[in-house]
Chain A
Amino acid sequence: MIEHEVIIVGAGLAGSWTAMVAGQRGVKDIGVLSKIHPLRSHSGAAQGGIAAALNNARPVAGTGPRGPLEPVPQGEDPPDSPELHMFDTIKGSDWLGDQDAIEIMVNEAPEIIYAYEHMGCVFSRLPDGRIAQRRFGGHSAPRANYAADYTGHVLLHTIHEQALQHGVEFYSEWYCMDLLVEDNVCRGVVAMDVLTGEIHTMRAKAVMFGTGGYGRAFEVTSNAYANTGDGVAIAYNAGVPLMDMEFVQFHPTGLYEHGILMSEACRGEGGYLTNSEDERFMERYAPDKMELAPRDLVSRSEQTEIDEGRGIGPDGKGIYLDLRHLGAEKIKARLPQIRELAIDFVGVDPIDDPIPIQPTAHYSMGGIPTDADGQVIANADGQVIADADGTPVVGFYAAGECACVSVHGANRLGTNSLLEASVFGRRAGHAIADFVQNGAELHPVTGDPAERNRQRVARLMDGAGSESVEAIAQELKQTMTDDCGIYRDKERLAQAMQHVGEMQERFKDARVMDKSKRFNTDVLAAFETEHLLTFSEVIVAGALAREESRGAHYRTDFPKRDDEGWLKHTVAHKGEPGEGPRLSDKGVNIDWDRFPPQERKY
């Protein structure tokens, strides 16, 4: 048995901030688990930027929404503000974001950027040495702070390196497979040391999940192999509910046939989207914001073009992203990674030719519900687990993409999630330090949780079944893409619901090929697939129940937003075996005087 004061699962931006801050606050004994080396975490793949109203850059007056930018001269009125950032985020969220949490995020944003800068992040700069800023979709001011087009990489390395200084113990390549909650009190986790294959019960006074997103449930995705939503599924299995899972963001520009992201910075820097008729079709969907309308809208517009026969590529399922007019110099300076990826993967140099792209599953708005301090909340009314007195899941915290605070509501704006992971990761670090320093205790666990999980592995290795893990995973991804994708309707969702249920049944007979203990990635893939099946059912159930269209969730049979019926979060608890998720709801925090719901037009 391993014991720590605090166990953090996940070493992306969220987990690393929590670890660093708790360490700085004097928490002595922190263990951080990551199924891949911390520096391999998917935060490092983020390209475009991190939002904050620093007021360093502004549009040149009179040049319109796509004109050039210039430094804000010292002493002049700041054109941007946290208030404006807040409004943009609320509007982007289609009014489903909780406004109290959004306010905290936008207010702490500038401070977070300066903290990164002081810790050594190499941001791109304006000529006077301040941090450079660019435009991003749905933001009405240039407030994306960036390091060329590898912003996430720079942030992740910086924060990991700072965390190393604080005596944090890293369990690199340890796979968390179970969360231990009894009587609303979190007691620890169960994890496998991938190298040896040994499974350990790990107890802690506080557990934090920063396990990232779950784009891997879809066929075409920008997400890493590792983004299988483990934490979300593990928490759900332990009785913690999930919130707003039906809101999955499809990014408009994944590389054709690969799904690999071409950052929104391409359009932020001025790139065009064109169809097979060489037409900038966004003119018809968002005449004002054009290519810089928010992602849900742009992806749907692309899908409509494709469905109506104006797509490009052999199967007509692509669209062109045209950067040629930006010129070689700008492309090389601002989008070097994009250029490299386009050359490597589709053989196109964006300086000379348009890049073939398609919508790609990208970001998970839903997740483990928390308050603004990372404390996991569980009851429908914002209280904690579904017990009578509504106390929190004591000692359980979450932040980053696996959590749902909710700042993104029905649709996230680009550059807001690196910010979210940082702001709420940091706040969780403080909350955990307070919790531990105010006398939290280690609680006993019933039975032998490690042994229970060893049995799960044994079943995968020794059982008599013959289902292939990969075949089920492929089928699931296809189902989620076809029947629970950009456009949804009742019939297809009902079909998906049934289909996912059947696959869950079949998974009970799944077997792995690799029977060895050492570094068994075949077993890990099986656990990951089981997790995909677990939360996919919740995505579909939420999408089926929500009879309206809001943000990233679009029902062709209910194409309008319905504030009367659906201005509320979906909360899903795990039901009895065979029953499916139990849905309830939770109110949205809205400041009715400042930001009452409006029609969302771009």
Chain B
Amino acid sequence: MTTNGSRPRMVTVRVQRFNPDVDEKPYFDEFQVELTPAKTILDALHEIKTAQDGSVTYRRSCRHAICGSCAMYVNGKNILVCNTPLRDKIDEEGTVTIRPLPYLPIIKDLVVDRSSFWEQYERVKPWLIPSADVPEKEFRMSSEEVAALNKAETCIMCGACYSACQVIAMNKRYVGPHALLKAFLRVLDPRDMAPSERLADVGDQDGVFRCHTIFNCIDACPKDLDPTKAIETLRKLAQKRQAFEAARRDRQRMLNEPIASS
């Protein structure tokens, strides 16, 4: 890259446009944006929307990869645009191509309809089912138990995995990696009172056995989580549910006791 120091380097940002009320099919608009070191793709979109074309439509909120609003398909990969530097996504032609998450109905431009995504999320009963008999203070949990749950707890429900999943692309009845990760979180939580029912729920053909282990979800996850592994764990547990149930009952008898250091 050579610059003469005065002329700004411009990047072409191609944005897929589509308003179903007026457009027959999606098309691309091109915008020129100056490249600066600190600029993220979201900054570029904001610049386009506020200075060039206010009708360019996308979701965003927190700006730092925790709210899950801004997953999009950029140069062929699902990413969060808020924490991705513009400079990292420029292809050989000096272009960045932004499209909505694939396989989901488009509401407008880069905004997709995540209804099926949320339905599956609710289907797995994402809430913990607590004991009716809670201690006065906290349940005791070991740091290892917490560490195992963190691998699911930090999911931001952005939909990047869901929309990268080949099975979802063909069959929206599949529960999907995000909701199975949530089910994993609850099943592995020693405080949950219904792990066995959960395993029965996700242990059917639309659940863990539908995953083809293609690993797209892992590649797509902006938080470096591993839904495939969680699904495999659930699959194994579903296969030996009785032993698992017995182990959970034992654990719950001790849940109000200090963790013994090993």
Taking Cβ atoms with an 8 Å cutoff, the residues of A that contact B are: 36-37, 39-42, 44-45, 54, 74, 113-114, 117-120, 122-125, 127-131, 147-148, 150, 153-154, 157-158, 161-162, 164-165, 195, 224-226, 257-258, 260-261, 337, 340-341, 344-346, 468-470, 512-522, 525
Q: Is the CB of A44 within 8 A of B66?
A: yes
The reply to whether B57 and A514 contact each other, CB–CB distance below 8 Å, is: yes
Footprint of A on B, CB under 8 Å? 19-22, 38, 40, 49-51, 53-55, 57-69, 83-85, 107-108, 111, 122, 126-128, 130-131, 134, 136-143, 146, 149-150, 153-154, 156-157, 186, 189, 191-192, 257-259, 261
From A125, A224, A346, give the contact of B67 (CB < 8 A).
A224
Residue among A37, A341, A525 with max Cβ neighbours from chain B (10 Å): A37
A42 to B61, CA, bound (A): 8
Check A131–B261 contact: CB distance below 8 A.
no
Q: Point out the residues of chain B lying under 8 angstroms from A120, CB to CB.
A: 127-128, 130, 186, 189, 191-192
- Which chain B residues lie closer than 8 Å to A258 at the CB level? 38, 63
Residue of A nearest to B80 (CB): A344
**CB atoms of A147 and B127 under 8 A apart:** no
Cα–Cα distance between A36 and B50 once the two chains are bound (Å)? 20
Which B residues are in CB contact (< 8 Å) with A257?
A: 38
State which of B57, B136, B257 has its C-beta within 8 Å of the C-beta of A521: B57
A127, A195, A516: which contacts B143 (Cβ < 8 A)?
A: A127
Residue of A whose beta carbon sits closest to that of B46: A225
In the bound complex, residues from chain B placing their C-beta under 8 Å from that of A468 are 50
Given the known interface contacts A153-B156, A162-B127, the answer about A36 and B66 at a Cβ–Cβ threshold of 8 Å is no
Q: Does A260 lie within 8 Å of B192, measured CB to CB?
A: no
User: Closest chain B residue to A468 by CB distance?
Assistant: B50
- What is the bound-complex CA distance between A514 and B56, given in angstroms? 8
A131 touching B138 in the complex, CB below 8 Å, given contacts A45-B66, A162-B127, A518-B108: yes
B12 shortest CB reach to chain A, Å: 21
User: Which residues of the other chain, A, contact B143 by a CB distance below 8 angstroms?
Assistant: 124-125, 127
Residue from B61, B85, B130, B153 having most chain A Cβ neighbours under 10 A: B61
The answer to whether A125 and B141 touch across the interface, beta carbons within 8 angstroms, is yes
A129 near B68 (CB under 8 angstroms)? no
- Contacting pair A40 B19 (CB below 8 A): no
User: Per a CB cutoff under 8 Å, which of A40, A164, A512 touches B68?
Assistant: A40
Residues of B within 8 A of A130 (CB): 137-138, 140, 258
Which of B65, B127, B154, B261 is close to A161, meaning CB atoms less than 8 Å apart? B127
Q: How far is the CA of A39 from the CA of B158 in the complex (A)?
A: 10
Given A122-B149, A225-B62, 8 more A-B residue pairs with CB atoms under 8 Å apart are A40-B68, A44-B62, A118-B139, A157-B153, A161-B128, A513-B54, A522-B54, A525-B50
Which of A346, A518, A520 has the largest count of B CB atoms less than 10 A from its CB?
A518
| Choice from A225, A513, A516 contacting B63 with Cβ under 8 Å | A225
Q: Which residue in A153, A225, A521 is a CB contact (below 8 Å) of B154?
A: A153
Task: Give the distance in Å from the alpha carbon of A122 to the alpha carbon of B188 in the complex.
Answer: 12
Which residues from chain A contact B154 at a C-beta distance below 8 Å?
150, 153
Residues of B within 8 A of A260 (CB): 63-64
CA–CA, A516 and B64, complex, Å: 29
Q: Chain B residues near A122 (CB, 8 Å)? A: 141, 146, 149-150, 153, 189
Question: Residue among A40, A341, A517, A522 with the most chain B CB within 10 A?
Answer: A40
Across the interface, do A522 and B55 meet the contact criterion of CB distance under 8 Å? yes
When distances are taken between beta carbons in the complex, the residues of chain A under 8 Å from B107 are 195, 518-519
> CB distance B21 to A518 under 8 Å?
yes
Q: List 11 A-B contacts (CB under 8 A).
A: A42-B67, A119-B127, A120-B192, A122-B153, A123-B138, A128-B140, A129-B257, A153-B154, A512-B54, A516-B108, A519-B108
Q: Which 4 A-B pairs have the closest CB atoms?
A: A513-B54, A120-B128, A129-B140, A129-B259
Task: Give the one of B139, B142, B153 with max A CB within 10 A.
Answer: B153
Residues in B with CB closer than 8 Å to A131 are 138
Min Cβ gap B31→A in Å is 13
A44-B51 in contact (CB<8A): no
Expressed in whole angstroms, the Cα–Cα distance for A122 and B143 within the complex equals: 10
A114 touches B126 (CB 8 A): no
Q: Is the CB of A40 within 8 A of B111?
A: no
Q: Are A517 and B62 in contact (CB under 8 A)?
A: no
Inter-chain CA distance A518–B106, complex, in Å, is 12
Cβ distance B250 to chain A, nearest Cβ, rounded Å: 16
Q: In the complex, what distance in Å separates the CA atom of A153 from the CA atom of B156?
A: 8
Known: A521-B57, A522-B54. A45 touches B149 (CB 8 A): no
Report the separation of the CA atoms of residues A44 and B107 in the bound assembly, to the nearest whole angstrom: 25
The smallest beta-carbon distance between B226 and chain A, in angstroms, is 15
Considering the chains assembled together, what is the distance between the CA atoms of A394 and B63 in angstroms?
A: 38
In the assembled complex, how far is the CB of residue B29 from the closest CB belonging to chain A, in whole angstroms?
A: 13
Query: How many Å lie between the Cα of A125 and that of B64 in the bound state?
Result: 26
For A224, give its contact among B21, B49, B61, B137 (CB under 8 Å). Answer: B61
